[in-house]
Amino acid sequence: MQIFLPEALKGYYGWSLYCAAKAGMENFIHSLAVEQQTQPHPFLPINIDPGVIDTDMQALIRATPQSDFADVERFIQRKNQGLLVSPDKVAASIINIIELPSLSFGNRYETSKHNN
Residues 53-77: tens digit of each pLDDT: 999 999 999 999 999 988 999 999 9
Is 11 or 41 the better-scoring residue by pLDDT? 41
DSSP string, 74-106: HHHHHHHTT-PBPHHHHHHHHHHHHT-TT--TT
* Phi, psi (rounded to 5 degrees) for 14: 85, -5
Domain of residue 97 covers 2-113
Q: How many domains does the chain have?
A: 1
Q: Domain containing 15 — which CATH number?
A: 3.40.50.720
Active site residues: 18
Using the predicted structure, report yes or no on whether residue 116 has a pLDDT greater than 80: no
